[in-house]
């Protein structure tokens, strides 16, 4: 919302006897024919529109596009940039995580945009035409988004400036609050939101509700090591009679081969309107619909398929007759759609976490794709598996770094891409790079995560039996081997989050809040052996991001201290 400054000129007009400027004679100018702060926050509808902008800004940070949302998974224990790009996507921490990095500035500014929008809403409510009930709902929504933004800022940057009022003029004297103070502010906002937002059955799909607030509040309490409070907040979500893990086949492709975990990620299956009682907060997407955020003609919307799925359509191996065993167009079956093979999972993600139980449903052929069929009818290998020709397949490092590797099927929508993207529907051939979009709604909060969050709180509270019980609720749905209390530690929980959430999770937020980004990434993000320091030059100080240099530079009225380890620039 633009802020228009009005200059009222006061002039003495001797001809009519006005020799000075009487303050009572100055007109308060309120525009009537265009939007301004004076006339844009009046009705309940006005405030709803401002809240919708917060939804959009939050989705842009965490879900839309192939760059900024994926900042949360590249260069972690989940995976690394396999495209030989040292200067982007955490190919090298020392090259990309700098105070001057655009990535660092983007996330800082976007979260503060959310905070600014929320503060404006909260500041303007008093003089609105809303009744008390409407004011309470609007306040709860605005405070949820503000709490969400401060929570994530604290995870990433540590202590940051706290601003709780609408800022209408330049301010250059910000100082950093402590990380604990930021978490406490987030907890205060989320507590109000949890108490006053509608229940999950009272809102439309994709709308925030009290359970979303309780889930985030539980995470903040874990960050504050307030274990009992965290357990209580998470229990509000888990014990709600309207939530439950999905345990039976359901939704759009439930009649096809698969399992219930696979069903969770098929197109049209994420929301309560299809009977899904597991989604707590789901980012909503529609294709080629105004405001739907996905276009079939450009690379917008969630791009997990494009980055995480491999690129067999560029496969360099030929069969004995010299024919490529994969067709050059992308394919929308289990070869990964139109992936470009840029985000390659670590060996720990692809293999290590499954040693505990290789038969885990989440590691089934439907959910963690480890083998595919050659799809070119002209090839003598047509219909055969890659695994049948593995020695040929591994002719060069690139064959297994980008052209094929194990990946989660949740990133793609096999057979469910928009029809106009298919060049051959029978062979499921896609001829457009835009087919790399993941054409489905995306979970932001899912009940399975709430169980694992409460398990983390129980672990912190030294209640290992209860922690194991919560983990086993999630593992039981996957028909997986149950964990014993003696086996539960933070590494097991983090591995379980990988098994259950994978690239769905904003992994960096989890590791940063625990102070384990360095330890886990250094241990598991082995990177490409042919490139020095690829993905493994992470340093202990990278557990926090740097404060953007641009913010330090413009804050001339006070010192905005930099995080340790980063050059002042």
Can you give the CATH number for the domain in which 149 is found? Answer: 1.25.40.890
User: Which of 6-20, 79-93, 331-345 has the largest mean confidence?
Assistant: 79-93
How many structural domains is the chain composed of? 2
Name the pLDDT band for 4 (thresholds 50, 70, 90): very low
Q: CB-based contacts of 52: which residues, under 8 Å, 6+ apart?
A: none
- Can you tell me the distance from the alpha carbon of 72 to that of 87, in angstroms, rounded to the nearest whole number? 16
**Pair 458, 360: CB distance under 8 Å:** no
Rounded Cα gap, residues 527 and 78, in angstroms = 11
Question: What is the tens place of the pLDDT at every residue in 499-526?
Answer: 999 999 999 999 999 999 999 999 998 6
Q: Which residues contact 303 (CB under 8 A, 6 or more apart)?
A: 65, 66, 69, 70, 436, 437, 438
Last residue of a domain, one of 196, 228, 246: 196
- SS3 assignment, position 379: coil
Give yes or no: residues 52 and 184 share one domain. yes
Asked whether residue 310 falls in the same domain as residue 173, the answer is no
pLDDT band at 20 (very low <50, low <70, confident <90, very high): very low
Within a domain: 201: no
**564 within domain boundaries:** no
Which of 394, 429, 464 is where one domain is finished? 429
Residue where a domain stops, chosen among 429, 456, 487: 429
Interatomic CA distance for residues 211 and 205, integer angstroms:
13
Residue 168 lies in a domain: yes
Q: What is the pLDDT of residue 33?
A: 46
Of 271, 264, 273, the C-alpha closest to 246 is 264
How many CB atoms neighbour CB 55 within 10 A?
Answer: 17
Residue-wise pLDDT for 354-374, tens only, equals 999 999 999 999 999 998 888
383 domain-assigned: yes
Average pLDDT over residues 389-406: 76
Using pLDDT thresholds of 50, 70 and 90, give the confidence band for residue 544: very high
Instruction: Note the pLDDT of residue 533.
Output: 47
Upper half-sphere CA count for residue 546 (Cβ side, 13 Å): 24
Between residues 360 and 318, the one the model is more confident about: 360
The verdict on residue 212 lying in a domain is no
Calpha distance 372→383 (Å, rounded): 9
pTM over 0.75: yes
Q: Is the pLDDT of residue 282 over 70?
A: yes
**Helix-helix angle 447-460:464-477, to 10 degrees:** 160
Q: Which of 37-41, 98-102, 184-188 has the lowest mean pLDDT?
A: 37-41
* Interval 42-84: pLDDT, tens: 999 999 999 999 999 999 999 998 889 999 999 999 999 888 7
- 349 falls within a domain: yes
**Is 510 contained in some domain?**
no
Residue 14 has pLDDT above 60, yes or no: no
Q: Tell me whether residue 376 is in a domain.
A: yes
Range of the domain at 355: 303-429
First-to-final CA distance of the chain:
32
């Amino acid at each position: 919302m633009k802020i228009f400054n009005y200059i009222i000129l006061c002039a003495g007009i001797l001809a009519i006897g006005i020799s000075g400027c009487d303050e009572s004679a100055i007109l308060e100018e309120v525009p009537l024919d265009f939007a301004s702060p004076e006339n844009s926050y009046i009705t309940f509808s006005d405030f709803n529109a401002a809240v919708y902008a917060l939804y959009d800004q939050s989705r842009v940070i965490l879900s839309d596009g192939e760059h900024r949302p994926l900042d949360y998974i590249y260069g972690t224990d989940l995976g690394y940039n396999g495209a030989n790009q040292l200067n982007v996507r955490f190919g090298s921490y020392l090259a990309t995580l700098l105070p001057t990095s655009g990535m660092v500035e983007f996330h800082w500014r976007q979260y503060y945009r959310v905070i600014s929008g929320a503060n404006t809403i909260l500041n303007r409510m008093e003089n609105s035409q809303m009744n008390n009930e409407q004011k309470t709902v609007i306040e709860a929504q605005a405070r949820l988004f503000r709490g969400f933004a401060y929570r994530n800022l604290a995870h990433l940057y540590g202590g940051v400036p706290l601003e709780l009022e609408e800022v209408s003029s330049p301010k250059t004297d910000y100082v950093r609050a402590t990380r604990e103070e930021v978490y406490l502010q987030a907890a205060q906002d989320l507590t109000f939101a949890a108490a006053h937002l509608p229940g999950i059955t009272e809102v439309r799909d994709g709308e925030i509700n009290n359970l979303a607030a309780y889930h985030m509040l539980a995470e903040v309490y874990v960050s504050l090591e307030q274990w009992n409070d965290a357990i209580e907040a998470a229990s509000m979500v888990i014990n709600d009679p309207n939530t439950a893990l999905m345990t039976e086949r359901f939704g759009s492709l439930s009649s096809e081969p698969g399992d219930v975990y696979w069903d969770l990620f098929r197109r049209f299956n994420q929301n309560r309107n299809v009977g899904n009682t597991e989604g707590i907060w789901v980012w909503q997407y529609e294709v080629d619909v105004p405001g739907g955020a996905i276009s079939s003609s450009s690379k917008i919307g969630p791009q997990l398929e494009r980055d995480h799925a491999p690129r067999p359509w560029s496969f360099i191996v030929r069969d004995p007759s010299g024919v490529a065993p994969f067709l050059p167009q992308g394919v929308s079956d289990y070869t990964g759609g139109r992936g470009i093979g840029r985000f390659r999972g670590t060996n720990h993600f692809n293999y290590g976490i499954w040693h505990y139980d290789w038969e885990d449903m989440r590691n089934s052929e439907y959910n963690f794709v480890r083998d595919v069929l050659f799809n070119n009818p002209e090839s003598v290998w047509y219909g055969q598996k890659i695994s049948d020709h593995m020695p040929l397949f591994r002719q060069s490092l690139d064959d297994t770094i980008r052209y094929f590797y194990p990946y989660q099927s949740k990133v793609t929508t096999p057979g469910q891409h928009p029809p106009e993207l298919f060049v051959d529907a029978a062979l499921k051939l896609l001829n457009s790079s835009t087919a790399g979009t993941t054409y489905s709604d995306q979970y932001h909060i899912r009940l399975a995560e709430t169980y694992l969050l409460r398990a983390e709180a129980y672990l912190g509270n030294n209640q290992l039996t209860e922690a194991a019980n919560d983990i086993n609720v999630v593992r039981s749905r996957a028909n997986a081997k149950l964990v014993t209390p003696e086996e539960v530690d933070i590494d097991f929980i983090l591995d379980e989050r990988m098994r259950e959430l994978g690239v769905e999770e904003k992994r960096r937020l989890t590791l940063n809040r625990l102070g384990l980004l360095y330890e886990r990434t250094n241990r598991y993000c082995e990177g490409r052996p042919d490139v020095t320091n690829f993905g493994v030059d992470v340093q202990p100080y990278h557990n926090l991001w740097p404060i953007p240099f641009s913010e330090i530079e413009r804050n001339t009225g006070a010192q905005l201290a930099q995080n340790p380890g980063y050059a002042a620039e």
